[in-house]
Amino acid sequence: MIPHPVRGNEAAVQCGTCTACCYQAVVLVDGEYGYDEEHIPTPDGLLRLLKRRDDGACVYLTDQGCSIHDARPSCCRVFDCGRWYARLNPAMRKEITRRGDRNDRRMLKAGKRRA
């Protein structure tokens, strides 16, 4: 099945070779289907996420970048790491630096470059 994203409000981000956000959880919204998913139970039901590899990367990430870029989920379409970074307060940035894993720190660094 071909992935079907929900479209709209897309961020105009020139990622280049950066794949920092490809190591973060990607939530699928209602109407998005055809993706390799994993599910996490919550009090409100199942949370649908893109499946991730053992190294934490999205299963659609290849050496050439996102293999489903044109059909990527809405979460990937609207995310702008520079805007995310700019909205973090200094205490949260420090907490991510202290307690975040390698992928969290990579995301913080990418956001800082783009902010």
Determine, yes or no, domain membership for 38.
Answer: yes
Residue 111, pLDDT score: 96
Residue 9: per-residue pLDDT:
79
CA dihedral of residues 46, 50, 55, 56 (deg, nearest 10): -70
33 with 72, same domain: the answer is yes
Q: How far is CA 33 from CA 39, 58, 78, 95, 113, in A?
A: 13, 16, 17, 34, 33
> Are residues 88 and 98 part of one domain?
yes
9 falls within a domain: no
Confidence of residue 8 (pLDDT cuts 50, 70, 90): confident
Output 60 or 16, whichever has higher pLDDT. 60
Task: Tell me: do 71 and 94 sit in the same domain.
Answer: no
pTM of the predicted model as reported, rounded to 2 decimal places: 0.86
Burial of 26: CB neighbours in 10 Å, binned 0-12, 13-18, 19+ = buried
> Residue 2: is its pLDDT beyond 80?
no
Average pLDDT over all residues of the chain: 93
Q: What is the pLDDT of residue 86?
A: 96
Q: Which domain holds residue 98?
A: 80-115
